[in-house]
């Protein structure tokens, strides 16, 4: 047993199973508990609009973990993650409205639908690589939007309204919608994050990274690159499907515009800014991009108050894409490992604190 389980003073693991643990020291476990407590109390402390943003960030985080599975960990460029979200959203909406399933069944069903469709769309990855695969996923994004637009069953892309949910006797209403959904989305996100951490330390997670880093060597290890890529699509689009199901309920309706190409690009941006192939990055990326978006909104309000622009001109519509594109470029150039790298460096600093090295 370790000499001290409070902080890490060295490696005291004597069994291989201990080497597999995720949160090893008491300090790590304690900080996790503190974090969870803070998260549980958060809705009581912040405004309704901010809570709405937090909910969005968490839903995007689920989708970005999934995008990291395919693009970050397995190296398969995927410009269709929003369409996989849409598959989940529509499946959830149909399950809720046509089959009258409760949300805790409808959302997992959305995840499964995403997984099935995603695996199918991943088939070209058996033959195509790099940009060619990106084009294949882009094609799916466009075909899917077009198909929804022509399907009467899916309201031709118009709104499919979802019924309000009831959890433990509490009905979600206009007033408490954001709070209720916060307490649904948060545990879903935590569970999904843990599931991904589990996959990552298993043979499946290792094979994803192996195929990304060197598919020749991976094949020489007996890993079937094709099966591995399809598995990555399966897992990645399962996450997208779950995120889509959550988003459908959270927005109270499914509209195809929410899942367009711009959303796919936005998800990619979140993954890149957060740090491709990193778990903390999947949280930091959505946080950054949503904060940037709100920041630009605020800046534009400030500028129109000071009458820097003529009245009636909404500077935000110009500032948003500008800041968005600029931040992707700057990250790609100066910090390709994303915010997750800053996160890692600051953690290392605190692990050694108060010693310098």
Q: Is 116 in the site for other proteins (CB under 8 A)?
A: no
Told to check if 9 binds other proteins by CB under 8 A, we report: no
The residue within the footprint of other proteins, chosen from 24, 50, 112, 209 (CB under 8 A), is: 209
Q: Applying CB under 8 A, which of residues 3, 44, 175, 220 lies at the interface with other proteins? A: 220
Distance CA 43, CA 24 (A): 29
In sequence order, the 6+-apart residues with CB closer than 8 A to the CB of 294 are 53
Residue 51 C-beta: closest distance to other proteins, Å: 30
Give 49 or 202: the residue with its C-beta nearer to other proteins: 202
Task: Using CB under 8 A, pick the residue from 201, 262, 351, 352 that binds other proteins.
Answer: 201
Cβ distance 8 to 351 under 8 Å?
A: yes
Site string for other proteins, 13-52 (x = CB under 8 A): --xxx-xx--------------------------------
DSSP E strands in the chain: the ranges are 160-161, 166-167, 170-171, 253-254
| 136 membership: H or E segment, kind and range | helix 130-149
Burial 319-342 (b: 16+ CB within 10 A, else e): bbeebbeebbeebeeeeebbbbbe
DSSP H helical ranges for 221-337: 225-250, 261-274, 279-305, 315-334
Our CB check for other proteins shows the closer of 70 and 266 to be 70
Q: Measured from the CB atom, is 207 or 300 closer to other proteins?
A: 207
Q: Of residues 156-195, which lie at the interface with other proteins (CB under 8 A)?
A: 195
Q: Note the residues at the interface with other proteins (CB under 8 A).
A: 15-17, 19-20, 195, 198-199, 201-207, 209-210, 213-214, 216-225, 231, 234-235
């Amino acid at each position: 047993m370790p000499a001290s389980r409070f902080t890490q003073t060295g490696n005291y693991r004597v069994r291989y199973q201990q080497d597999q643990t995720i949160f090893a020291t008491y300090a790590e476990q304690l900080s996790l508990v503190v974090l969870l407590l803070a998260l549980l109390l958060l809705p009581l402390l912040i405004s309704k609009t901010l809570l709405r943003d937090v909910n969005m960030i968490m839903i995007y985080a689920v989708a970005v973990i999934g995008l990291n599975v395919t693009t970050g960990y397995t190296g398969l460029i995927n410009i269709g993650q929003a369409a996989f979200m849409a598959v989940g959203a529509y499946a959830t909406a149909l399950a809720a409205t046509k089959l009258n399933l409760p949300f805790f069944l409808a959302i997992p069903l959305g995840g499964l639908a995403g997984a099935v469709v995603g695996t199918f769309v991943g088939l070209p990855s058996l033959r195509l690589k790099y940009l060619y695969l990106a084009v294949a996923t882009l094609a799916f994004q466009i075909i899917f939007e077009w198909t929804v637009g022509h399907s009467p069953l899916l309201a031709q892309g118009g709104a499919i309204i979802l019924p309000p949910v009831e959890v433990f006797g509490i009905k979600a209403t206009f007033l408490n919608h954001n709070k209720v959904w916060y307490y649904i989305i948060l545990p879903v996100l935590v569970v999904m994050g843990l599931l991904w951490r589990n996959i990552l330390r298993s043979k499946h997670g290792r094979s994803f990274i192996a195929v990304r880093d060197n598919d020749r060597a991976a094949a020489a290890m007996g890993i079937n690159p094709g099966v591995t890529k399809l598995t990555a699509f399966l897992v990645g689009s399962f996450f997208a499907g779950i995120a889509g199901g959550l988003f459908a309920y959270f927005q109270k309706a499914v509209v195809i515009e929410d899942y367009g190409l711009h959303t796919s690009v936005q998800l990619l941006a979140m993954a890149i800014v957060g740090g491709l192939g990193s778990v903390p990055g999947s949280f930091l990326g959505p946080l950054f991009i949503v904060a940037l978006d709100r920041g630009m909104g605020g800046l534009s309000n400030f500028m129109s108050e000071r009458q820097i622009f003529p009245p009636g001109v909404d500077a935000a519509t110009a500032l948003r894409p500008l800041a968005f594109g600029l931040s992707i470029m700057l990250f790609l150039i100066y910090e390709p490992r994303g915010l997750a790298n800053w996160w890692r460096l600051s953690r290392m600093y605190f692990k050694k604190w108060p010693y310098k090295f």
